[in-house]
A and B are shown apart, each in its own frame.
Chain A
C-alpha cells in the first residue's frame, strides 16, 4: 500500500486517510474533520505523493462508507494484486472472470495499454492537424511572395534596363526571402512556443508543456526553405518577362 509518513493508519471506522493532492486541494490536515453524508470522519493521516490516482483519493473504512451510502455488502471495484513479478496478469484476470459469475476483471496492464493506445491516437491526430496547419501556412507564404514579386515587375524591369542580369534579379529576391524566412521563422517560433504555454494548460488541465529546444533549428530551416522556394519560382518567371512588357504591364 501507499506509504503513510504523517499520522497513523486506519484503525477505526471514523477515520480517513487522504491522498497528497487531495489534501492539498481540500486543505486538509491531520486532525481535520470531513462531513460525509451526515457522518463525520477524522483525518488521521496524509499519504505521501505517489504520482498515481491515489494522490487524488480519500481512503475510508469500507464498512463506514457502505453504511453512509446505504450500500451495505456492496463494492464497486476491487483491486487485486498478484504477489509475483512475472506471472501474466491477464491469466489471473481470466480465471477470476471464469470463476466468479457477474464479475468483470481487467488486467491493469491492459487498461494501461488501452490508455496508451488512445494517447497515441490523440497525438497522431494532433500531428495531422499541425501538418494541415503547416500546409495552409505554406500556401499563405507562397501566395504572399507571388504577389510581392508581381507587384514589383516594373521595378524588375527598371533594374534590368540599367544593367541587372537575370541572375542578379533572382538573387535579390532569394536574399529577401532568406531574410523574411529567418526573421519570420524566429518570430513564429517564439510566438508559437509562448502560445503553447498559454493555451496548452487550458485544453489539457494539469499537463505540463515540455519545451523541446531541438525543434528550433528545424522550424527556422523549414520557414526559410519555404520562403525561398515560394520566391524563386515567381522571381524566375518575372526575370523572363521582356523589359518593355514589364513597363507596359502597369
Chain B
C-alpha cells in the first residue's frame, strides 16, 4: 500500500521559487491500478520522482507498506529501488553503451555484484 500525505515540492528560492506540488494526498491500495493525468507542467513527473525515491519532497510524507520513505537514507533507498518500486521513464533512459539485453539485465546484475 502506498500513501501520500500532504506532499509539497518547491524548487528554487525567493522570486525564482516554483511550486511543483502543493499538498498532494492520496492512497493506492495493493493491486490497484491508477493513472495520474494532468497537463504538461502540472507536476506529474515530480510526484512520481518523489514516490520513486529519485527526489525528496519539500514537506509531507510518503508511506510505503507502512513505512515512511520520504526521509530515507540513500543506502536504504537502494533497497526499495531494487525490490519494491520500478520506474519506467518517459524517455526510456537506456544506457547507450549497452545492448538492449544488457540494459534489461542491468538491475539484476547490480543486485548480484553487490
Binding site for B on A (CB under 8 A): 154-155, 157-166, 168, 242-245, 247
User: Which residue of B is nearest A166, CB measured?
Assistant: B74
Task: Using A168-B110, A168-B113, A242-B56 as known contacts, list a sample of 20 further A-B pairs with CB atoms less than 8 Å apart, ordered by residue number in A.
Answer: A155-B95, A155-B97, A157-B93, A158-B94, A159-B106, A160-B81, A161-B87, A162-B110, A163-B78, A163-B81, A163-B107, A164-B78, A165-B75, A165-B110, A243-B49, A244-B49, A244-B54, A244-B55, A245-B55, A247-B93
Report how far A31 CA is from B74 CA in the complex, Å.
92
CB A90 to nearest CB in B, in angstroms, measures 72
**Chain B residues within 8 Å of A, Cβ to Cβ:** 49, 52-56, 74-75, 78, 81-82, 87, 89, 93-95, 97, 106-107, 110-111, 113-114
- Among A155, A160, A165, A166: residue with most chain B CB under 10 A: A165
Cβ-defined contact, A166 with B110, below 8 A: no
Query: Given the complex, which residues of B lie within 8 Å of A162, measured CB to CB?
Result: 81, 106-107, 110
Minimal Cβ-Cβ distance residue in B for A155: B95
Contact A165:B78 (CB < 8 A) given known A159-B106, A243-B54, A243-B55: yes
Do B106 and A242 touch (CB < 8 A)? no
Instruction: Sample 15 A-B pairs with CB under 8 A, ordered by A number.
Output: A161-B54, A161-B81, A162-B106, A163-B78, A163-B81, A163-B111, A164-B110, A165-B75, A165-B78, A242-B55, A242-B56, A243-B53, A244-B49, A247-B89, A247-B93
Complex contact A158–B93 (CB within 8 A) = yes
**Interchain CA distance A247-B54 in the complex, whole Å:** 10
**Binding site of A, secondary structure by majority: helix, strand, loop or mixed?**
helix
CB < 8 Å: which of A155, A163, A242 contacts B82?
A: A163
Chain B residues in 8 Å Cβ range of A160: 81
Instruction: A154 to B89: give the CA distance in the assembly, Å.
Output: 13
